[in-house]
Structure 1
Amino acid sequence: MVPADFLIATATVLGFVTLLKNLLATARWLHATFLRKLKNLRAYGSWAVITGPTDGIGKALAFELASVGLNLVLAGQNPSKLEPTSSKLRERYGPTIEVKTVIADFAKLTGEEIAAAMTGAMEGLDVGLLVNNAGMAYPNPTYFHEVDQQLMESMLRVNLNAAVWVTKAVIGGMLKKKRGAILNIGSGSSVYVSSFPLQTLYASTKAFMAMFSKSIGLEYEEQGVDIQCQVPLFIATKMTVLRRRPMLVPSAETFSRASVRWIGHKRQCNPYWSHAAQAFVMHALDGITVWYVKRYMEWTRNEGLEHDRHL
């Protein structure tokens, strides 16, 4: 075979292998997203612990997990929100589940105080699932030097400190029985774009969450504990800066249904189908994406400032 023919044959084979690899990856993703059956989450344990369960993703996940028969420990800072949430859960699911609440202001408690509060609330319970959902973002996109000192401290405590210490409080029991799952709610802002300006502190804390999850996931994968970080894009919740809900932005309830289907599969994932498709494009066009994000955040910041001036 002459060199030119050999090169053409080699290129053809490599192209075919690459195409086949991409087709298989797409097929696996389609199966996982739309066809794969939900795991029996009660096999991990009969109780799930959820932080930040009174709004948005946390509240939606509480109802979704209750629907599959898990008892719930709801950890939040606001008793006036925890009680209505727990009452609605009991009203909807009646005697099929139990609900406990624990008041814990993660923005004010030390790590040891968080661990003690959570350990006390879980005493005697077969906790099989932890959802680290509690999180904070800027009320509006903000340049780093403008971030209020109290807001900065609270964000670091809630987004970083709380997740670490709640995990510390829970994981020992999972290791003893050699089964359990931990779901950490991260953000696509820390994974699919190289920069996320005007939400710098938020995106940085979520980057920590992604690395924390992947690393401890490897530490404990052979001990029966599945640890996962989900990295969604925009979801229609109070924490996002969206003024209205675009077509490809799911509600918290829609996202939670997809989220639960991925628990126990992969150390990092983007569970909602349109988010996964958007993330692929964003990552491939990173320069354009970052430029757009900066312009969008600046526009949203100005809109917020204008709104505040008219209050």
Structure 2
Amino acid sequence: MDADDHLMQRCFLSLAVLGALYLASVTFRLLDLLGIPTSFFLLRPTDLRRRYGAWAVVTGPTSGIGRSMALELARRGLSVVLVGRDADKLRDVSDAIGAAHPGVQTKTVLFDLSLVSTPQGDEAMRRLREAVEGLDVGVLVNNAGVAKPCAAYLHEFDVEAWIKMVRVNLWAPTEVAAAVLPAMVARGRGAVVNIGSGSTEAIPSFPLYTIYAATKRYVAQFSRSLYVEYRSKGIDVQCQNGSRASAPLFVDTKMASGVTKAKRRSLFVPSSDAYARAAVRWIGHGALCMPNAAHRVQRCIAAAVPDRVHDWLRLREHLRQRALFQRLRSARAAPGTTSTTAASGNSETHGKDRRD
């Protein structure tokens, strides 16, 4: 083989290596755009009980994503501490877990999270700490959230209404995480999952839901920073749906039902059970994630739309929702009128009215 042949072979090999590197770079960028860490493909499904601990704490577990997450964690073999404000509904979820998974234990803690950082909230936080004391709490799911007031200008409600939203969506996950982290640090393992929102990252604004979106933006940054702080201590912290891979997403829950009625049965609107199955599988795979595959596709589409178009579309849609909610409130307020549209997205609940 002469020198020219050797030169051609070396050039071919060099081009092949460069092509492979370029293809790998494009692949990794595409995975990053879709919010999929490479570890998701390299690792088998996690045995949460063995990796993190025997117990999970779930806030807002009485319906929607919270209930589905509690049941899914129980299916994975974790006992569950259920934290919410309605004793009857907590008992119902506890009974459902016991019936479906006889070997799984449950505890319930009454806690109205809209009272966080008040004397009543401090007492409820004390009860929560007592309930988890001595338990091998491996997973915390900060799911509870509210969107009331929804589709409203800032001046249309008094400050206390916004403060309640801030307490549930922002202060509560902070205080609950602070309550369980010391024991996780002592054991050198654990996972904290904070449920964020697609309203905070993939789209530039979320008008008429401003406080809601702002609180969820906090959740994303809070989670990302805690991930960096605690990963060396064996603790995974993750924000789901609140990442740079987020989109204007919906999950079919009571909070979303009033504004996504026409979108039900869509591939882009998963049921809370389907969402929970994916969400639990993603625990431990990155600081910020989007569990639902259809949501990731939706995010890619949203990324191609200019900010001005997003702003116009969001404002137009949310003004339509505002008009609808005003009509519903007027109908409920009318003498002798009973509205059957309880899921209009305007009821204040923890974990059952979620718009993510």
Counterparts of 1:1-311 in structure 2, within 5 Å, are 20-26=24-30, 29=36, 37-43=44-50, 44-94=52-102, 96-110=103-117, 112-138=122-148, 140-231=150-241, 233-240=249-256, 241-244=259-262, 245-247=264-266, 248-287=268-307, 288-311=309-332
Residues 1:286 and 1:39: Cα distance change in structure 2 (over 3 Å): farther
| 1:243 CA displacement | 2.7
Larger radius of gyration: 2
When structure 1 is superposed on structure 2, of 30-39 and 243-252 the one drifting more is: 30-39
| 1:147 CA displacement | 2.8
Structure in which a larger fraction of residues adopt helix = 1
Look up the SS of the partner of 1:190 in the other structure. coil
> Could you give the per-residue CA deviations for residues 119-164 of structure 1, whole angstroms, max 9, x where no partner exists?
1110121000000011110254111111343321211111111111
| 1:14 CA displacement | 9.3
Q: Which has the higher contact order (CA 8 A, sep 6+)?
A: 2
| 1:279 CA displacement | 1.2
1:283 and 1:113 mapped to 2: Cα distance? Answer: 45
When structure 1 is superposed on structure 2, of 186-195 and 288-297 the one drifting more is: 288-297
> Could you give the per-residue CA deviations for residues 181-238 of structure 1, whole angstroms, max 9, x where no partner exists?
0000001111111111110000000000000000011011111000000116211111
| 1:285 CA displacement | 1.3
Mapped contact 1:114–1:165 kept (Cα < 8 A):
no
Mapped contact 1:72–1:99 kept (Cα < 8 A):
yes
When structure 1 is superposed on structure 2, of 19-28 and 290-299 the one drifting more is: 19-28
Look up the SS of the partner of 1:310 in the other structure. helix
Mapped contact 1:115–1:168 kept (Cα < 8 A):
no
Residues 1:246 and 1:150: Cα distance change in structure 2 (over 3 Å): farther
Mapped contact 1:37–1:261 kept (Cα < 8 A):
no
2:306 and 2:141 mapped to 1: Cα distance? Answer: 30
Mapped contact 1:112–1:165 kept (Cα < 8 A):
no
TM-score between both structures, scaled by the size of structure 1: 0.89
> Could you give the per-residue CA deviations for residues 50-93 of structure 1, whole angstroms, max 9, x where no partner exists?
00000111000001111110000000011121111111111111
Residues 1:36 and 1:306: Cα distance change in structure 2 (over 3 Å): farther
Mapped contact 2:116–2:168 kept (Cα < 8 A):
no
1:175 and 1:115 mapped to 2: Cα distance? Answer: 19
Mapped contact 1:214–1:228 kept (Cα < 8 A):
yes
TM-score between both structures, scaled by the size of structure 2: 0.78
- Name structure 2 gaps, 5 residues minimum: 1-16, 333-356
2:41 and 2:71 mapped to 1: Cα distance? Answer: 21
Mapped contact 2:39–2:285 kept (Cα < 8 A):
no
Residues 1:238 and 1:114: Cα distance change in structure 2 (over 3 Å): same
When structure 1 is superposed on structure 2, of 263-272 and 231-240 the one drifting more is: 231-240
Look up the SS of the partner of 1:239 in the other structure. helix
Residues 1:75 and 1:93: Cα distance change in structure 2 (over 3 Å): same
| 1:172 CA displacement | 0.2
Amino acid corresponding to residue 291 of structure 1 in structure 2: W
Amino acid corresponding to residue 22 of structure 1 in structure 2: V
Amino acid corresponding to residue 21 of structure 1 in structure 2: S
| 1:36 CA displacement | 5.9
> Percent of counterpart pairs with the same letter?
41
Look up the SS of the partner of 2:236 in the other structure. strand
